[in-house]
């Protein structure tokens, strides 16, 4: 009876792992820090607006984050990692007037590697960061507004709608992995 329970538990966790691996959320998941620049005010200064698929629009009350002139945001993938694949790997969705920005990525939130600059929505190849860092997967994205174009208040600076990893891998749930290991151990000990 207990063996049956263990087998069911293993099957359930295997299914959970399979599902989480198959359905990867490619979008950015967390705000590490946001340093607002000048002339960005509510509701345009909410960093949570960058989560999920693109949903902002020109003139919309929300749906995007305006960095402000010289503003900066550090964002994090928590259920997936950014990896280098064929062609472009990361896409930034930007709203409205062109606003110059620089974008860099990191695996540890300490060492950042630039992957390019842009003024509107643009896709980036992270291959140069892979070569410079020796890393294959990245968790953090930093976007800095370069302020050359002075968009007026209340939505100055780069207007970020969404950040999408075009090439990505899932991060296995640590809790599921630990429980799976415990279940396997229990099964082995019973034999
Ligand atoms: Ca995600
Ligand atoms: Ca690439
Ligand atoms: Ca803009
Ligand atoms: Ca958005």
What's 53-114 look like in SS3? CCCCCCCCCCCCEECCECCEEEEECCCEEEECCCCCCEEEEECCCCCCEEEEEECCCCCCEE
* CATH H superfamily, domain 27-165: Galactose-binding domain-like (2.60.120.260)
pLDDT of residue 44: 93
Distances (CA, A) of 151 to 38, 48, 68, 97, 162: 10, 21, 9, 8, 20
For the cut 60, the answer to whether the pLDDT of residue 39 exceeds it is yes
Give the model's pLDDT for residue 182: 59
Q: Which of 23-27, 38-42, 139-143, 177-181 has the lowest mean pLDDT?
A: 177-181
Which residues neighbour 164 within 8 Å (Cβ) at sequence distance 6 or greater?
26, 27, 28, 53, 90, 91, 93
- Distance of alpha carbon 134 from alpha carbon 128, whole angstroms: 10
From the list 160, 73, 80, the residue with the least C-alpha distance to 122 is: 160
Surrounding ion ligand 4 within 5 Å at CB are 49, 55-56, 63, 161-162
Ligand 3 center–CA 154 separation, angstroms? 12
67-102 pLDDT, tens per residue?
999 999 999 999 999 999 999 999 999 999 999 999
CB 170 within 8 A of CB 22: no
Ligand 2 center from residue 126 Cα (angstroms)? 5
Closest ligand by atom to 167 CA: 2
Mean of the per-residue pLDDT values for the chain? 85
32: part of which helix (H) or strand (E)?
strand 30-35
Residue ranges covered by each domain of the chain: 1-24+172-191, 27-165
Query: Going by DSSP bridges, is the β-strand pair 137-138/80-83 parallel, antiparallel, or unpaired?
Result: antiparallel
pLDDT digits (tens, 9 = 90+) for 46-66: 999 999 999 987 666 669 999
């Amino acid at each position: 009876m207990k063996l049956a329970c263990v087998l069911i538990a293993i099957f359930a966790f295997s299914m959970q792992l399979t599902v989480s691996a198959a359905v990867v959320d490619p979008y950015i998941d967390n705000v590490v820090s946001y340093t607002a620049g000048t002339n960005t005010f509510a509701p345009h200064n909410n960093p949570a607006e960058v989560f999920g698929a693109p949903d902002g629009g020109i003139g919309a009350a929300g749906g995007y984050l305006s960095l402000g002139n010289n503003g900066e945001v550090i964002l994090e993938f928590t259920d997936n990692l950014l990896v280098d694949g064929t062609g472009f790997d990361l896409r930034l969705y930007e709203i409205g007037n062109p606003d110059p920005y620089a974008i860099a990525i990191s695996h540890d939130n300490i060492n950042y590697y630039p992957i390019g600059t842009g003024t509107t929505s643009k896709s980036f190849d992270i291959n140069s960061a892979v070569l410079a860092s020796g890393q294959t997967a990245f968790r953090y994205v930093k976007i800095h507004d370069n302020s050359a174009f002075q968009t007026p208040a209340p939505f100055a600076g780069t207007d970020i709608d969404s950040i999408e990893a075009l090439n990505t891998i899932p991060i296995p749930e640590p809790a599921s992995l630990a429980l799976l290991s415990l279940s396997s151990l229990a099964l082995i000990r019973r034999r």
